[in-house]
Amino acid sequence: MRKAARATVHLGLAAGLTFGSYLFITMILLAVAGAVVVVGLGVLPETVLLMRRMASAKRRQVAAWTGHEIPEAYLPIRGRLRESLRVATHDPCTYADLRWMVAHYVYGWMVLLALPLWPAALLVDGVRHLLGRAPAVLPLITRLADTEARWSTALLKPPPKARLAERVQRLTTTRADAIAAHGAELRRIERDLHDGTQARLVALSIRLGLAKRAYDRDPETTRRLLDDAQDQVDQALTELRHVVRGIHPPILTDRGLAGAVRALAASSGLDVTVDVAALEDGTRPPAAVESAAYFIVAEALTNAAKHSDADRAEVRLVKEAKALRVVVRDDGRGGAESPTTGSGLVGMRRRAAALDGEFTMTSPEGGPTLIEVVLPCGW
């Protein structure tokens, strides 16, 4: 009975949205009529935006009933009037939403079929319950809600052309992010070399010059200057190794991703559980995927140790059919910044996006923080 009641509520909300659609269609007709005389051209983009909001409300309504979200693939409406009109009239989702709205005119009133079933359900299913039999009428109400949700899902799914446009938009953004990340990486390397290694080499050159001048008249001073020069060489080599590790860690080449992740866990300062059994069969993902996964794990563990007050973390590498899934979880206080604002999280998102991967993060206040990245690759 609870399920049938929920189904009735779902159908009632659908009917309410249908009534709103009746009013909205009137607005569309007025906008189109106004557009003919150029008066309503400015209203058309706003009308399309309102239609999108109604379709989005229906998607949320269906998702609440089915438990499965319906994706959106709208082109953004912004800019000057001409650009807004072009997007509003050329976006395939505009016509898909309009098609749904017209169809919803008819099937949106299924609640009128459900309401008369309730008296019959109370009588018939009440008697069947006393006889120990399963209800026969209440399931019909649930089926009506399932049918309404199934039709709405079919009509509200983005058309293939819209998905292709969204894909092109995403690739454009990804390319821009990859170029920005590449430029930032080059600037970081230049800064590290300039502030670190170059400064060491300048100091080394000065000490060698002083040692050369003092060689004949003060051997003791020369020896001390040469010792200092040797220390400078060692420090310069250490900083060069640090720069190289920031470009492509040698441990990835030597030990593979599984060994490199274990080394990261051992040096993180946290109690890290590592599950890399999926990579123990000897197969390795492409070098670009290994590098991205390594730096994502390194950044996630660094954030957990420095910012979330975590004590324990978990790293899992999961080998899927056409992808590598990287999962990092910590028991910190949560509340991590959005992956579009926090610098470390932005870097992780960009590394995933550069390979056409997916980056998701959940970090509620109080924790835990869960980062999950899917990197496409051919095994």
Assign 296 a pLDDT band (cuts: 50, 70, 90): very high
Number of alpha carbons in the 13 Å side-chain half-sphere of residue 279 = 23
- DSSP letter string over 4-56? HHHHHHHHHHHHHHHHHHHHHHHHHHHHHHHHHTTSSTTHHHHHHHHHHHHHH
Buried b (16+ CB within 10 A) or exposed e, 1-13: eeebeebbebbeb
**Residue 168 in this model has a pLDDT that exceeds 80:** no
51 in Cβ contact with 94 (< 8 Å): yes
Instruction: Let me know how long the chain is.
Output: 379
pLDDT, residue 238, reads 78
Between 294 and 281, where is the model more confident?
294
Assign 321 a pLDDT band (cuts: 50, 70, 90): confident
Assign 85 a pLDDT band (cuts: 50, 70, 90): confident
Strands 323-330 and 271-275, sheet pairing? unpaired
Between 130 and 58, where is the model more confident?
58
**Residue 187 in this model has a pLDDT that exceeds 80:** no
**Residue 171 in this model has a pLDDT that exceeds 60:** yes
Each residue's pLDDT tens digit, 360-374: 998 888 888 999 999
For residue 375, the 8-state DSSP code is E
Each residue's pLDDT tens digit, 221-235: 888 888 888 887 887
Each residue's pLDDT tens digit, 28-43: 655 555 554 555 566 7
Assign 199 a pLDDT band (cuts: 50, 70, 90): confident
**Residue 341 in this model has a pLDDT that exceeds 50:** no
Mean pLDDT of the chain: 81
117 in Cβ contact with 8 (< 8 Å): no
247 in Cβ contact with 189 (< 8 Å): yes
Tell me the average pLDDT across 182-192: 72
pLDDT, residue 151, reads 92
The two structure tokens encoding residue 277: 């059994």
Q: Which residue type is seen at 145?
A: A
**Residue 322 in this model has a pLDDT that exceeds 50:** yes
* Coil/strand/helix, residue 186: helix
- Burial degree of 111 (CB within 10 A; 0-12, 13-18, 19+): buried
Assign 330 a pLDDT band (cuts: 50, 70, 90): very high
Each residue's pLDDT tens digit, 245-292: 666 677 888 888 999 999 989 988 899 999 988 887 777 888 889 988
**Residue 166 in this model has a pLDDT that exceeds 50:** yes
Assign 301 a pLDDT band (cuts: 50, 70, 90): very high
Between 343 and 252, where is the model more confident?
252
Each residue's pLDDT tens digit, 40-82: 566 778 878 888 888 999 999 898 888 888 888 888 888 887 8
Tell me the average pLDDT across 20-27: 64
Q: Taking the model in full, what pTM does it have?
A: 0.52
pLDDT, residue 77, reads 86
Tell me the average pLDDT across 294-300: 91
pLDDT, residue 182, reads 64
Assign 186 a pLDDT band (cuts: 50, 70, 90): confident
